[in-house]
């Protein structure tokens, strides 16, 4: 099973600052199958990024994803008040089919 480790566990920043969230895999992940989600309290997760770097429909361009192999990054260029939430990375492996999530990074207002 591929284990995804997200860092940091908590990130404290101010609106307008840049956020960089990391997701490291225990073995190589196909870039096609790495996704990022945002979850706010009491809500279901929302897809932000798929295929490591493609923004989902309706996601602002301040969100960007990058990386390959075992190291992936979610960057929020200029934080808006509504961006403070928990972020999860997720991978899909096809042989055998399996899906794992990272443990999450909490982005909080400083």
Q: Which residues bind another protein (CB under 8 A)?
A: 1, 30, 32-35, 37, 43-47, 50-51, 56, 88, 90-92, 96-104
Rounded to the nearest whole angstrom, what is the least distance from the CB of residue 79 to another protein in the complex?
22
Rounded to the nearest whole angstrom, what is the least distance from the CB of residue 33 to another protein in the complex?
4
Of 84, 86, 78, 81, nearest in space to 62 by CA? 78
**Which one, 6 or 84, has the nearer CB to another protein?**
6
Of 105, 106, 98, 86, nearest in space to 3 by CA? 98
State the residue for tokens 């860092």: 7
Rounded to the nearest whole angstrom, what is the least distance from the CB of residue 10 to another protein in the complex?
13
**Which one, 27 or 78, has the nearer CB to another protein?**
27
**Which one, 14 or 43, has the nearer CB to another protein?**
43
Is residue 73 within a helix (H) or strand (E), and if so which, with residue range?
A: strand 63-76
Rounded Cα distance, 6 and 91, in Å = 12
Structure tokens belonging to residue 12: 């404290």
């Amino acid at each position: 099973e591929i284990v995804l480790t997200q860092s940091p566990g908590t990130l404290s920043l101010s609106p307008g600052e840049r956020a960089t969230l990391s997701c490291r895999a225990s073995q190589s992940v196909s870039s096609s199958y790495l996704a990022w989600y945002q979850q706010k309290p009491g809500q279901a997760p929302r897809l932000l990024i798929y295929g490591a770097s493609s923004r989902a429909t309706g996601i602002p361009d301040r969100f960007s994803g990058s990386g390959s192999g075992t190291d992936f990054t979610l960057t929020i260029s200029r934080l808006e008040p509504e961006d403070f939430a928990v972020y999860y990375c997720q991978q899909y492996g096809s042989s055998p089919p399996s899906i794992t999530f990272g443990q999450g990074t909490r982005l909080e207002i400083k």
